[in-house]
Amino acid sequence: MITFAEGDFFDHKADIRVNTVNCVGVMGAGVALIFKNKYPEMFNEYARLCSQKLIRPGQPHVWHTPELFDKNLTIINFPTKNDWKKPSEYEYIEKGLVWLQEYLKTKNNPTITIPALGCGHGGLDWSIVKKLIEEHLKNLNANILVFEPASSTTKKMTNEISDILKAKDIKHILPNDSDYPSKIRGKSASELYVKGDISFFHEKTISVIIDSKATEREQNAFWGCVDELLNQNIVYVVGLNSSMEANLLKELLLRGLKTIVVLPYGILQLKIRSDLKQLWDNNLITTISLSHPRQSWKSFESIKSLEFRLNASDIILINSQKIQTLEKYEKEFQNEKSIFYINYWNEGINFFNKISAKKIGRKSDTMLPNVEPLLSALNI
């Protein structure tokens, strides 16, 4: 029998608990993190099996342990995605449910708790997942408690916040929605809050990484590149973490250039700097946040927004001489995008070699920035 419930499923006694996981050995958020902290031995075994490529969609990890009061507990680590950075897939849910159906047929009327598979951080639509659960687990000799998403799209925000978003014409876009940016579809499980034209992502985009305390030389070098790229209908993707990035945005707007601003905090927390207000034009700016609308700045939100900027752009342009600072984000730069850096050195830099970045120098005849590699990478 299937019963749909709400609340904390750890409050309910069970013989079997289903935990939603990825296949790379990470339990870093949501219910999975609770499982990791509560059962560290289980996590260690799961991580080891992931490293051996033995866990995949349709092939969960089953772990048994004696629980308090002499009650045996089984934990099923149920893969809903391959990598924690990527969204869940309905196909993976279905493969896992087919396996779970056969597994439960071998048990004698157990009580099993199941979370909203692939919803929440996974980005799947609960109404679709619910139907899959009903279809595959009906008529089993088991007491199945399915917990609806505590933070499903319809419940995540108060009516007050939803009304504010609507009044401000801010869209709430889920990973499986048709208007989710195609450049990051399948690479991000983040919900988006968008003010402006989402179609900017369909144009040629450059993600700009600039030092928060860029020198005058660095600023002049960057604007030299931008001015060489004028009239190419390029959209610049920037953050808003520092006053330098605000200055960058200001100069882009003064040039009438389209810009995507990725906020490292909730979109309702945005305070537009006074000198930007008169330039702020929603025909030129698309503002995006991956955080809850009222989330304040947090360091992890900043990293998340950086990863999004890097993945959502066609190419990446780095303008910073502070290699030690850049090295802190080496993992984030390890992606499939074409990466370029404005060159200030007479010799190769190991960090740029490791991330396969190509240098942008000057033309020997005019001494203007040589932006041909950027145009080539953008197919312009």
H-helix or E-strand spanning residue 360: strand 358-360
> To the nearest 10°, the Cα dihedral for 254, 258, 264, 265?
90
Structure token digits, residue 74: 């089984």
CATH class of 159-377: alpha beta
Structural fold of domain 2-147: Leucine Aminopeptidase, subunit E; domain 1 (3.40.220)
Report pLDDT digits (tens) over 270-309.
999 999 999 999 899 999 999 889 988 887 788 888 988 9
Q: What is the pLDDT of residues 138-173, one digit of tens each?
A: 989 999 999 887 543 334 456 788 899 999 999 998
Domain ranges of the chain: 2-147, 159-377
Q: Taking residues 91-110, report their average pLDDT.
A: 94
Residue 355: which residues within 8 A CB-CB, separation 6 or more?
A: 330, 333, 334, 339
| Residue listed under structure tokens 């900043």 | 302
**Fold equal for 2-147 and 159-377:** no
What's the predicted TM-score (pTM) here?
Answer: 0.66
Helix (H/G/I), strand (E/B), else coil: 57: coil
Closest CA to 362 of 251, 214, 224: 224
